[in-house]
Amino acid sequence: MNPRISQVQHPAPMMPFPANQQPMSTTELLRQANEARNAVVASGLKRLFAAFSDWMERRRAEAELRSLTDRELADIGLTRAEIPYILSGQRQTEAVVIAAPQGQPALRPANDRFGDRAAA
């Protein structure tokens, strides 16, 4: 160790532990390691279960959407080709507010993709 560096200037290299902490016993270290391992395993299982339930929910939604007729899909503003895209979560559907003649905000129809046609 460099004799020019005193403990006042750089206390960290001279102390292996913080001043208020005693060295841990082997059993305490093992207990903390086991708790950390158990927490990682539990969080992994929770994420796995959540992913599985999300997948099942997407499958149910896809089956329900595919059971609709083309007319019913058009009523909600979808085509059959858009079903996988919608279920992947890449498209965020939001209501677009436009000004009504009376100055009251009105919702645009769901199947009005281009803004120039009225809902069927």
What integer is the mean pLDDT of 79-103? 68
The DSSP secondary structure of 61-107, one letter per residue, reads HHHHHHTS-HHHHHHTT--GGGHHHHHTT-PPP-PPEEE-TTS-EEE
Q: Using the predicted structure, report yes or no on whether residue 6 has a pLDDT greater than 60.
A: no
Q: Using the predicted structure, report yes or no on whether residue 10 has a pLDDT greater than 50.
A: yes
Per-residue pLDDT tens over the stretch 17-45:
566 667 778 899 999 999 999 999 999 99
| Domain presence at residue 99 | no
- Number of domains into which the chain is organized: 1
The residue segments making up the domain with residue 42 are 24-93
| Domain presence at residue 81 | yes
| Domain presence at residue 2 | no
pTM for the predicted model, two decimal places: 0.48
Q: Using the predicted structure, report yes or no on whether residue 109 has a pLDDT greater than 90.
A: no
Helix, strand, coil: what percent of the chain each, to 5?
50, 5, 45
Cα dihedral 71, 73, 77, 79 sign: negative
| Domain presence at residue 72 | yes
Q: Using the predicted structure, report yes or no on whether residue 13 has a pLDDT greater than 80.
A: no
